[in-house]
Chains A and B, each alone.
Chain A
Amino acid sequence: MPVKYVVTKEGEKVAVATVFDLLMAQFGVGRGLPGDYPRDYGDELPYTPAWQEKWTGIHRDTLLKYARSWAENGLKTKGKNLIIIGAGINHWYHNNLMYRAGIVALMLTGSVGVNGGGLAHYVGQEKLANQASWGPIAFATDWGYPPRQQNTPSFHYVHSDQWRYERGFSAYDKTAAGLTDHTIDHQVRAVRKGWLPFFPQFNKSPLEVVKEAEARGAKTEEEIIQYVVEALKRGELRFAVEDPDAPENWPRVWFIWRGNAIGTSAKGHEYFLKHYLGTHTNAVAEERAEGQVQEVVYRKPAPEGKLDLVVNLNFRMDTSALYSDIVLPAATWYEKDDINTTDLHTFINPLQAAVPPAWESKPDWDIFKAIAKKVSELAQVHLPNPVKDLVMIPLQHDTPDELAQAEDLDWKKGEVEPIPGKTMPKFRVVERDYTKLYEKMVTLGPVVEKAGVGMHGLTIPVEDFYKELAERQPRVFQGEKRPSLEEAREVAEAILFLDPVSNGELAYRAFLDEEKKTGVRLADLAEGNRHVRISFKDLVAQPRRQLTTPTWSAIINLGRAYSPYTLNVERLIPWRTLTGRQHFYLDHPNYLAWGEHLPTYKPRPEVFMLQETEKAAKEAQGKLLNYITPHGKWSIHSTYSENHRMMTLSRGGYPVWLNDKDAAELGIKDNDWVELFNDNGVFVQRAIVSARIPRGTVFVYHATERTVGIPKSPLRGKRAGMNNSITRARLKPVLMSGGYAQFTYAFNYWGPVGVNRDTWVFVRKLEKSPEW
């Protein structure tokens, strides 16, 4: 590999190579250089077409033709190579490597940032286009409070005690550094180094922590924080994540809204039932983490029923609602005002009340207002005076926090001093007046007026628009006239009025900010649309298209379709990475430890490594099949799946799809009742036998409910489960990396994925009709 040697100022001789050369060496592309390279495409060494045959089952000739077509197409069309991908890859253990493989192929053919090329990520409706204005309202930063945000996979992996049932990642992922510790050890370290958030924060209430600090003489915010840091260093104060099974560290009150959190969103559903709810469960797996963990306290027995109260805002009786203590009936999409945006289309759509909410149901905003109002009322008795809260947040993406950690050092081990915002999380002391909770919820706060709105590192001043909004929808609070957020319609108007995607003048200002950051002329992109103001009424007349703004990454003026990164490629806005470019090479120390600094191949975890079928193997007769949960045809995830129409079109249930030859071997005929089981749980439905299913797999389309047509499991004697009853969540620790450049936490951007696809189950036919 071509290497140059240079001598540094300090007199050190260092080797220098280009990333491209490293990449070619990694891929085994010889280019006529001396070294241990494959001789030709037929040499079965990584990563030749011959080598890949045994992993993919695709003949080398076909692969070569495909690769050549890919290259030719990229060349001739100047980058219109397109990969359309959903979230499915996300759920496999080595998801990051799979995505990188695709992205490398796109990068090498110049297909990123091209209309008709690049990675088109088709996942649900999770893109909030108006994120800059929505953020302050959703997270209350308009009143100056840093929000507590939590990446869900970490939360559930820890609190639902799924960590206890595995030996950890080293059982199924060989790292370059030969690490043998447990996944949860990495989770704990990630929290204390400021890489990931966690809730609860400490082993005592943060309100108590501040009181203690003040009792010991701390007066200012700095002094309180100093107290906390020292208490953590001495071990007097502990992070909750270090002892998650201690009762003081359990989550207690759970509000479930806009998600089937106990149902299909619960990877490891049966563990949720056991450890969160303390109710019946079909999990029989043995705990395996004892003696394997270093950073957490291993309490015995594992606690069950940690939660005190589950409240569900829902418009239907899904599995979560069935298991909740209180259900607050919520209005559906056609019964309330709201706005909707999605990844895939550049329009903003309104939701409106075609009919008023049926029976006792209420729009979401009204439900939360009612709760806030009641809390404010009760606060007058229980928390009448303002209290000080200590908020702990991880190092944040798009802030100077990205410069915090050039090396991966652990203050707990004494490798470095604990310094908030540098080697450990950041802290802020926030004063809260619970008696004013409701008022603040329904009034747009002063921070937006003074500091503007922002995202992705940009700040946009909005003082004039704030004042105009206050005139249009006024609300007087503490003697000031501010914009009202009392009605959902008013919230929608605020979101539209104060965001660059729907306010052309703000798009222009956003580009001005980007110009300052980059030194590149950009504001011309927004000139023609400066006058545009999209209001809710406009959307009602016709959904409107978003505007081009640097808060997102595409140029979409004059009817141009959205393709990510066209702004970066055409107008030279840097990517928000260490180098400002896209990265083939990731130099975070953790990635180097994992051997994933360059794109690489790692085989999937094998079933014997996962240890989810030990007990089940003793009960089973048939073969192990890989359990796959593709996206359902007859539902939108679990929503709508259980209504009459969708049930009629899906054979009246949630069928289990088997390959016809596998089914024949197992003695299973089309529409027979079958049971899927492993140590995580059971699933009982009728089978569909089909030649289109690959051998060795069993498909259950996600997502299912337990509320409709689920019989008792003959194996466990209780109600059979749902699609996530036979899975559990595993985390890949390398994805917890933080504190450095683009490897930093941001909301909905960062953290390990809840992996649940490398799952294996036994399948058997029921001997007689099931019980109900």
Chain B
Amino acid sequence: MKVRAHMSMLFHLDKCIGCHTCSIACKNLWTDRKGAEYMWWNNVETRPGTGYPTGWEDQERFKGGWEYKDGHLDLRLHSRTQGLFRLFFNPALPSLDDYYEPFTFRYSDLFTSPEGEDQPTAIPISMITGEPMTPGAGPNWDDDLSGSPLYAANDPNLKGLDPEVQAQLSEIEGVVFQYLPRICNHCLNPSCVAACPSGAIYKRAEDGVVLVNENKCKAWRMCVAACPYKKVYYNWATGKSEKCILCFPRLETGQAPACAHSCVGRIRYMGVLLYDADRIPEAAMVPDERLVESQLGIILDPFDPEVIAAAKAEGIDEGWIKAAQNSPIYKFVKVWGLAFPLHPEYRTLAMMFYVPPLSPVVSTLEKALRASQGREGLVRLDLPETDLDFEVYESLEKARMPVKYLANLFSAGNESLIVPALKKMLAVRILKRQESLEGGVTEKARKVLQDAGLTLEEAEAIYRLTTLPTLEERFVLPPYHREMAAEVWKDPLAHKGETGFGYIQPPLRGE
């Protein structure tokens, strides 16, 4: 057992309002410069939808992630030999047009326009060429089901859904959408790291953050293609790759990443997970439907004395072990089984997790009892006479967001993992609603909890951490020992005094 610590983030999708504040925070901080205009290290997608870059989940086309065939794990992108042959030309590499051509507006038109009969306006121009252009793509082009016949209807996660169910998703009475905020998943088995011919990408041992060493980067861009989530980006001005750094300068000073901290809906949680690095390869080499189970299997119990001893032996200090014990991520992922990685079938072992969203019951359109005013039918909710609150729990198949869809996103199609999670969340809701209505814990609520596999204490704990967490309960950040990291390569006192001073040398293209 080789215990390592990992900084992980959790997204509670039942709370996400799709405001994109996270995207703006990251953009303003990290990618507001030449060459990075099109990059959104944090982006928010509407689902159903095709995301950013459009259709990134189509690995037949983009060749990201790993394949498990004949007992071994290979990069889908290429073998080593193929990689050598394709070093200077990689057909799977996305171009700027797969993301979008960034645009701005010629605001000076408002001041510089000559006297005339009509009002001036600031015309849209390309940020790359400076030429006038009509925007045709963007980082959230299908936001809130924009262009749904083109994008949402072609969401690959709709595959395998009943045609009737798929059709319902594009009728206004059955329409549903959720948001999917994404950052780099700082995977345990990163294909970006594996694909880099220069070895310029690395994963930090102390916390699992995956970073690009821009001095080593030679612009091969295999990482861009190899990442199945398309979360490594190429800076067209500097000729280097860039990606989400999990705001490590913030983490190292006890602050949550900017995206997490700025989140309006308070959907994000940060915490430490201890994992067994020795078992990474085997965890990725199981059939699809067992991937979630196997990945969760290598996440270790921070209360287990054996684990603690092994952790200390690896140099993980007490503060980190304590943080792991208090980790909200550990609770949601391991203790309660409410959270999942995104697309585990890519086999990179993503270490950012999602709690899937609940959704209301489907309404149906009845034939009008009497055609009047050109209405196509009356809207009807198929609900029982009594116990309305229990309806979704009893009839999860009637939920607007099909369980299969969520399974395709979060559990490699395995619905049997998603259903218990949704039932637990619904059980907590029912418990609280019954308390509000009836003044206490009712028999009906107890039965639902039992059916969902929750004790009253667990339900209360889930409620508290979901609905009423304080900042410190959401972001349980470990004490980074900067002095220990620094002394590996430099005298820490000298480091303290000299950091920020010296010669600035931008990386030279081609070097």
- Which residues of chain A have a CB within 8 Å of any CB of chain B? 53-54, 57-59, 61-62, 65, 69, 72-73, 76-77, 80, 280, 317, 322-323, 633, 642, 644-645, 647-649, 651-653, 655, 657, 659-660, 670-671, 686, 688-695, 706-712, 718-719, 769, 772
In the complex, are the beta carbons of B378 and A58 less than 8 A apart?
yes
Min CB gap A685→B, angstroms: 11
- CB-based closest 8 A-B pairs: A652-B135, A670-B147, A59-B380, A691-B170, A59-B378, A719-B119, A688-B146, A691-B148
A564, B19: Cα distance in complex, Å: 28
**What are some 8 contacts across the A-B interface (CB < 8 A)?**
A53-B369, A57-B379, A62-B380, A648-B138, A649-B23, A652-B124, A655-B146, A711-B121
A690, B150: Cα distance in complex, Å: 9
Bitwise interface map of B from 362 to 393 toward A, beta carbon under 8 Å scored 1, else 0: 01001001101101011111010100100000
Q: Is B177 an interface residue (CB 8 A)?
A: yes
A73, B438: Cα distance in complex, Å: 10
Q: Which residues of B contact A718 (CB under 8 A)?
A: 117-119
* Known contacts A690-B147, A706-B121, A76 near B438 by CB under 8 Å: yes
Q: Which residues of A contact B27 (CB under 8 A)?
A: 645
In the complex, are the beta carbons of A710 and B121 less than 8 A apart?
yes
* Known contacts A633-B144, A670-B150, A692 near B379 by CB under 8 Å: no
* Known contacts A691-B152, A709-B124, A322 near B119 by CB under 8 Å: yes
Q: Which residues of A contact B139 (CB under 8 A)?
A: 648-649
Query: Secondary structure at chain B's binding surface: helix, strand, loop or mixed?
Result: loop
Q: Told that A57-B377, A694-B172 touch, could you supply 15 new A-B pairs with CB distance under 8 A? A: A58-B378, A61-B380, A62-B383, A72-B437, A76-B438, A633-B144, A651-B135, A651-B141, A652-B103, A653-B135, A686-B134, A690-B146, A691-B172, A692-B172, A719-B120
Range of interface residues on B (Cβ < 8 Å)? 35 or more
Q: Which residues of A contact B136 (CB under 8 A)?
A: 671
Q: Which residues of A contact B124 (CB under 8 A)?
A: 652-653, 709
Q: Which residues of A contact B141 (CB under 8 A)?
A: 651
Q: Which residues of B contact A77 (CB under 8 A)?
A: 436-437
Residues from 91 to 136 in B contacting A, C-beta threshold 8 Å: 102-105, 107, 110-111, 117-124, 132, 134-136
* Known contacts A62-B380, A652-B138, A691 near B149 by CB under 8 Å: yes
B120, B144, B437: which contacts A73 (Cβ < 8 A)? B437
Min CB gap B352→A, angstroms: 22
A670, B366: Cα distance in complex, Å: 30
Smallest Cβ-Cβ distance to A719: which chain B residue: B119
A-B contact count (CB 8 A): 150
Min CB gap B97→A, angstroms: 15
* Known contacts A76-B437, A652-B103, A692-B172, A322 near B148 by CB under 8 Å: no
Q: Which residues of A contact B120 (CB under 8 A)?
A: 322, 719
A489, B24: Cα distance in complex, Å: 32
* Known contacts A649-B139, A651-B138, A769-B134, A707 near B148 by CB under 8 Å: no
In the complex, are the beta carbons of B138 and A58 less than 8 A apart?
no
* Known contacts A653-B135, A707-B121, A317 near B146 by CB under 8 Å: no
Q: Which residues of A contact B147 (CB under 8 A)?
A: 670-671, 688-690
Q: Which residues of B contact A659 (CB under 8 A)?
A: 172
Residues from 375 to 418 in B contacting A, C-beta threshold 8 Å: 375, 377-381, 383, 385, 388
Q: Which residues of A contact B171 (CB under 8 A)?
A: 691
* Known contacts A57-B378, A649-B20, A655-B146, A707 near B122 by CB under 8 Å: yes
A644, B136: Cα distance in complex, Å: 16
Smallest Cβ-Cβ distance to B366: which chain A residue: A59
Q: Which residues of A contact B363 (CB under 8 A)?
A: 62
Min CB gap B175→A, angstroms: 5
Q: Which residues of A contact B375 (CB under 8 A)?
A: 54, 57
Q: Which residues of B contact A58 (CB under 8 A)?
A: 378-380
Min CB gap B210→A, angstroms: 26
A306, B117: Cα distance in complex, Å: 19
Q: Is B145 an interface residue (CB 8 A)?
A: yes
Q: Which residues of A contact B372 (CB under 8 A)?
A: 54
Q: Is B295 an interface residue (CB 8 A)?
A: no
Q: Is B143 an interface residue (CB 8 A)?
A: yes
Q: Which residues of B contact A322 (CB under 8 A)?
A: 110, 119-120
In the complex, are the beta carbons of A691 and B121 less than 8 A apart?
no
A648, B177: Cα distance in complex, Å: 21
A688, B148: Cα distance in complex, Å: 9
A362, B119: Cα distance in complex, Å: 27
Min CB gap B172→A, angstroms: 6
A76, A645, A657, A670: which contacts B24 (Cβ < 8 A)? A645
Smallest Cβ-Cβ distance to B119: which chain A residue: A719
In the complex, are the beta carbons of A690 and B148 less than 8 A apart?
yes
A688, B123: Cα distance in complex, Å: 20
Q: Which residues of A contact B121 (CB under 8 A)?
A: 706-711, 719, 772
In the complex, are the beta carbons of B146 and A280 less than 8 A apart?
no
Among A65, A652, A693, A711, which residue has the most Cβ atoms of chain B within 10 A? Answer: A652
Q: Is B241 an interface residue (CB 8 A)?
A: no
Q: Is B140 an interface residue (CB 8 A)?
A: yes
In the complex, are the beta carbons of B170 and A660 less than 8 A apart?
yes
Smallest Cβ-Cβ distance to A688: which chain B residue: B146
In the complex, are the beta carbons of B383 and A65 less than 8 A apart?
yes
Smallest Cβ-Cβ distance to B177: which chain A residue: A692
In the complex, are the beta carbons of A280 and B148 less than 8 A apart?
no
Bitwise interface map of B from 142 to 162 toward A, beta carbon under 8 Å scored 1, else 0: 011111111010000000000
